[in-house]
Chain A
Amino acid sequence: MTAEPSDAEVLDRFPAVRLDHVNKQFYKGLLHRELLVGRCAECGRRHTPLRPLCPSCWSARVGPVPVSGRGTVYLLTFLHQGPPCDGVDYAGGFPLAGVELAEQPGLRMEATVVDCPRDQLRVGLDVELTWIDRDGAPWPAFRPARTPS
Chain B
Amino acid sequence: MTARNPAKDKIAIAGVGLSPYARDRGATTELAILLEAAVAAIRDAGLTAADVDGVVGGGLLTGGIDPATVVSALGLPAVTWWARAVPPIMNHLTAASNAVWTGACEVALVYHSVYRVGGFSRSAAADPFRRRATFGLPDGRAATGDGHTDAEPWSMHGSAGYAAWAGRYLAEFGATREDLGRIAVSDRSYAAANPNAVLREPLTMNAYLAGRMIREPLCLYDMDIPVDGADAFIVTTAERARDLRQPPVLIHAATMGMTAPPEEHLAASLDATGQPLAARDLRAKSDLWLDDIDLFFPYDGFTIVALRCFESYGFCGAGEAGAFLADNWDAAANRITIKGRVPVNPHGGSLSEGGSQGAGHVREAVTQLRGQAGGRQVPGAQVALLTPGGFFFNAQGLVLRAG
Which A residues are closer than 8 A to B by beta carbons? 16-18, 20, 22-23, 48-49, 55, 74-83, 85, 88, 90, 93-94, 96-98, 106, 108-112, 122-124, 134, 139
A96-B160, A108-B266 are contacts. A75–B168 as well, Cβ < 8 Å? Answer: yes
Residues of B within 8 A of A79 (CB): 152-153, 160, 214-216
Indicate if the CB atoms of A77 and B266 lie closer than 8 Å: no
CA gap between A82 and B215 in the complex, in Å: 9
Partner of A83, one of B152, B164, B168, B213: B152
CA gap between A123 and B163 in the complex, in Å: 13
Residues of B within 8 A of A122 (CB): 171
A74-B168, A75-B165 are contacts. A80–B214 as well, Cβ < 8 Å? Answer: yes
Indicate if the CB atoms of A23 and B149 lie closer than 8 Å: yes
Partner of A16, one of B139, B164, B217, B264: B139
* A20 → chain B closest CB, angstroms: 7
> Can you report 8 A-B residue pairs in the complex whose CB atoms are below 8 A from each other?
A75-B265, A77-B164, A79-B153, A81-B214, A83-B119, A93-B213, A98-B266, A123-B167
Give the top 6 A-B pairs by smallest Cβ distance, nearest first: A75-B164, A78-B216, A77-B163, A98-B265, A77-B164, A110-B265
Per-position 1/0 for B206-220, Cβ under 8 A of A: 000000111111100
Indicate if the CB atoms of B154 and A98 lie closer than 8 Å: no
- The B233-276 residues at the A interface (CB cut-off 8 A) are 260-261, 264-266, 268
Number of interface residues of B (CB under 8 A): 38
* B93 → chain A closest CB, angstroms: 30
Chain A, residue nearest B155 (CB): A110
Indicate if the CB atoms of B149 and A78 lie closer than 8 Å: no
CA gap between A93 and B214 in the complex, in Å: 9
CA gap between A85 and B137 in the complex, in Å: 16
CA gap between A93 and B150 in the complex, in Å: 19
Residues of B within 8 A of A75 (CB): 156, 161, 164-165, 167-168, 265
Indicate if the CB atoms of A78 and B143 lie closer than 8 Å: no
CA gap between A134 and B139 in the complex, in Å: 15
Residues of A within 8 A of B268 (CB): 106
Indicate if the CB atoms of A85 and B171 lie closer than 8 Å: no
Indicate if the CB atoms of A76 and B164 lie closer than 8 Å: yes
Chain B, residue nearest A18 (CB): B149
CA gap between A77 and B166 in the complex, in Å: 9
Q: A75-B165, A76-B168 are in contact. List 7 more A-B contacts (CB 8 A).
A: A16-B137, A76-B164, A88-B153, A94-B153, A96-B164, A98-B156, A123-B171
B140 beta carbon closer than 8 Å to chain A: yes
Chain B, residue nearest A23 (CB): B146
Partner of A80, one of B150, B215, B264, B265: B215
Indicate if the CB atoms of B216 and A134 lie closer than 8 Å: no
Indicate if the CB atoms of B154 and A49 lie closer than 8 Å: no
CA gap between A71 and B268 in the complex, in Å: 16
CA gap between A124 and B167 in the complex, in Å: 12
Residues of B within 8 A of A109 (CB): 265
Chain A, residue nearest B152 (CB): A82
Query: Which of A75, A80, A97, A134: most chain B CB closer than 10 A?
Result: A75
Residues of A within 8 A of B155 (CB): 96, 110
Per-position 1/0 for B163-199, Cβ under 8 A of A: 1111110010000000000000000000000000000
CA gap between A90 and B166 in the complex, in Å: 19
Query: Which of B141, B149, B155: most chain A CB closer than 10 A?
Result: B149
Indicate if the CB atoms of B165 and A96 lie closer than 8 Å: no
Indicate if the CB atoms of B146 and A83 lie closer than 8 Å: no
CA gap between A111 and B141 in the complex, in Å: 16
CA gap between A98 and B349 in the complex, in Å: 29
CA gap between A53 and B195 in the complex, in Å: 51
Residues of A within 8 A of B146 (CB): 20, 22-23, 49
CA gap between A84 and B264 in the complex, in Å: 23
Chain B, residue nearest A80 (CB): B213
- The B108-144 residues at the A interface (CB cut-off 8 A) are 119, 137, 139-141, 143
Indicate if the CB atoms of A76 and B167 lie closer than 8 Å: yes
Residues of B within 8 A of A20 (CB): 146
Residues of A within 8 A of B217 (CB): 77
Residues of B within 8 A of A22 (CB): 146
* A123 → chain B closest CB, angstroms: 5
